[in-house]
Structure 1
Amino acid sequence: MQHKVVIVGSGPAGYTAAIYLGRAGLDPVMVTGALTPGGQLVNTTEVENFPGFPKGIMGPELMDNMRAQAKRFGTEFIADDVVAIEAVEPATDGQDSARPSYRLNLSDGDVLQTEAVIIATGSNFRKLGVPGEQELSGHGVSYCATCDGFFFRDKPIVVVGGGDSAFEEALFLTRFGSSVTLIHRRDEFRASQIMVDRAKQNPKLRLLTNTVVTEVHGTETAPATAPAAPALNLGGLSLTPKPQVNVSSVSLKNTVTGEESELETAAVFVAIGHTPATDFAADVVTRDSDGYITVDGASTRTTAAGIFAAGDCVDRVYRQAISAAGMGCRAALDAQAYLND
């Protein structure tokens, strides 16, 4: 079956594109991802900076709402991953307007054929890979200062990283935290000198070099239930509620002396970079040296006719849900114009 347009990836960019394309009558198909549809926001707790929700909204709920809105306008969802995109050259039938179509190979072996593609697969935070990081993600471990800094007002904060992004996050977090400690594994920073100078001039910010985080620790901050914690029975499966556990400290190791120590903190912000999820499209679109898809100016047009890209797989600067949603809108309008040409 030949589809008009297939969206690869969910999240704010993908769902917004689907809403616009569905309302345009283009019957979009969305390949959401096999494991975590909804992008990074499904792992976020409260979102307070998305317009229209004055009291905030939980990240998973926001994504569920977007999905329901896309479904309302006829989006078909496929819970799978795209492993490769192949260009299919048009038949030589003498028509000058003939355009290539695209074959999307899915991880389960299925194949989708489409006239246009919107890539909205986002990017993945690079992680420390230390004990406690995954378990305390969303409970003090964060990858976005703009999203979560407010929750740690008047509390000690740790930032891990040595580039401009890490310094930007650390300086931003000094607005909230009682103190901010930026930890870097080397004695020299990758950040620009002006960022380092600003950090050194900020009395709330301490720079800790030649140091790595080896473990993130948590402390129980609330019981499972009060006064008791009875097991929940779901279809014969008993689940015992777990107590609330939040970050309380990190274990550190000096990379030169090997000395180990522990630092109390209420939050660990990891800022060691992002990896855009674009490898599957490497054969059809142009990417920069870091793997971000390149687009034409302010548009979402890639170097391949009929393929558009939106969200964090393109945007290395803002990486916000609202900016991704706006780019998803632009991708849908660009795709619509392409299909109607």
Structure 2
Amino acid sequence: MAEEKINKVTIIGSGPAGYTAAIYAARANLQPVVFAGGPTLDHPQRVPGGQLMVTTDVENYPGFPEAITGPELMERFQKQAERFGTVIHMENVVKVDFSQRPFLIQGESVSYRSETVIISTGATAKWLGVKGEDAYKNRGVSACATCDGAFFKNQDVLVVGGGDTAMEEATYLAKIVKHVTVIHRRDTLRASKVMQERALQNPKISFLWNSAVEEVLGDNKGMNGAVVRNLKTGDSQLIKATGLFVAIGHTPNTELFQGVLETHQGGYLKTVPGSTRTNIEGVFACGDVQDSYYRQAITAAGTGCMAAIDAERWLIEHGE
């Protein structure tokens, strides 16, 4: 391991939050270092840049009226951060020590001591793990109705799940698509009463109870249906649909900080309301790793900006 370097700001994670934090920190002459992340044994498909790296057209990020692909948008974020002097390591952090300052951040090949740390490790969508799901991701299969719903105008789609997220997705999609079929493994919903009633009373939403998706079907144009099995009778049926929205939750990427930083029940990092501060002085969190509600590229970027400003002001207050 090379000799540890001491810097003012280290950002763990990339994506809209991490790169925006880097842009603001670099322009404040804080010379940030970014550990952008990469594949791991548990997540071999994870790539630097976050969930947008597996997103095709992004139509709702301001400034791109003709749309832009997720990877291209992240490439622009990265280049802008580098333009102002950000040092980026395309590797994972394997160990942190927040017990004393400067904090220790140990990567796969390089190690730093840092006066402040910004965490932007994001969250990973939970998937069904069924045949055809991977093949039709971004070609019908999605985990974000707000991101992709507009592509399915006047079409029939499926939503899998029974919690608040699933009901929110179904209700949102019903404003855009022709019809929504919600597929749920049980015969009752886990969603809050108000969310249940909103979905159950919507004439454009129907339900398949005690059911699970077995396979996603399609052709070279994209998804065109799904095989759904009734878990009580064992009978299967083909449901024609051009979209499948998996709404069974997200897992925040917080394994590295377990037992060190405070988290909510769902594992998302706790931040002081109105800021990005965590329970440890000098450690900040932004993006989807601390946001279980909005989970949008633009809100992640916004909190990345906040984290950089919070870190800069913290350094000034502490004479750094």
Name the TM tier (shorter chain): over 0.9
Tell me which of 280, 283, 303 is aligned to 1:304. 280
Measure the CA separation in 1 of the matches of 2:26 and 2:271.
23
Tell me which of 46, 49, 61 is aligned to 2:72. 61
1:213-252 superposed matches below 5 A: 213-221=213-221, 246-252=222-228
Tell me which of 310, 316, 323 is aligned to 2:292. 316
Query: Post-superposition shift, 1:127?
Result: 0.6
2:233 is matched with 257
1:46 is matched with 57
1:153 is matched with 153
Query: Post-superposition shift, 1:115?
Result: 1.0
Preserved contact between residue 279 and residue 291 of structure 1 (Cα < 8 Å):
no
Tell me which of 272, 289, 310 is aligned to 2:265. 289
Query: Post-superposition shift, 1:109?
Result: 5.4
1:189 counterpart = 2:189? yes
Query: Post-superposition shift, 1:111?
Result: 2.4
1:170 is matched with 170
Measure the CA separation in 2 of the matches of 1:83 and 1:129.
27
Query: Post-superposition shift, 1:339?
Result: 1.3
1:83 counterpart = 2:59? no
1:102-141 superposed matches below 5 A: 102-106=103-107, 108=108, 110-141=110-141
Letter aligned with residue 103 of structure 1: L
The superposition leaves residues 230-285 of structure 1 with CA deviations (integer Å, 9 ceiling, x where unpaired) of xxxxxxxxxxxxxxxx0111111111111111111100000000100011012431
Measure the CA separation in 1 of the matches of 2:179 and 2:89.
46
1:233 is matched with none
Measure the CA separation in 2 of the matches of 1:88 and 1:303.
12
Measure the CA separation in 2 of the matches of 1:274 and 1:59.
19
Find runs of 4+ consecutive structure 1 residues off by over 6 angstroms.
none
1:33 is matched with 37
The superposition leaves residues 270-311 of structure 1 with CA deviations (integer Å, 9 ceiling, x where unpaired) of 000010001101243111121110011110000011100000
2:9 is matched with 5
Letter aligned with residue 137 of structure 1: K
Preserved contact between residue 311 and residue 327 of structure 1 (Cα < 8 Å):
yes
Q: Which has the larger radius of gyration?
A: 1
1:225 is matched with none
Measure the CA separation in 2 of the matches of 1:158 and 1:20.
40
SS at match of 1:251: strand
2:44 is matched with none
Measure the CA separation in 2 of the matches of 1:324 and 1:24.
20
Measure the CA separation in 1 of the matches of 2:147 and 2:99.
41
Tell me which of 18, 24, 36 is aligned to 2:22. 18
SS at match of 1:12: helix
Fraction of identical pairs, as percent = 47
Letter aligned with residue 340 of structure 1: I
Measure the CA separation in 1 of the matches of 2:109 and 2:67.
40
The superposition leaves residues 16-65 of structure 1 with CA deviations (integer Å, 9 ceiling, x where unpaired) of 00000000111100000123111101111111111111222111111111
Query: Post-superposition shift, 1:88?
Result: 4.6
Measure the CA separation in 2 of the matches of 1:86 and 1:142.
36
Letter aligned with residue 284 of structure 2: F
1:336 is matched with 312
SS at match of 1:135: helix
Measure the CA separation in 2 of the matches of 1:176 and 1:297.
33
Query: Post-superposition shift, 1:84?
Result: 2.5
Measure the CA separation in 1 of the matches of 2:130 and 2:273.
39
Measure the CA separation in 1 of the matches of 2:58 and 2:198.
29
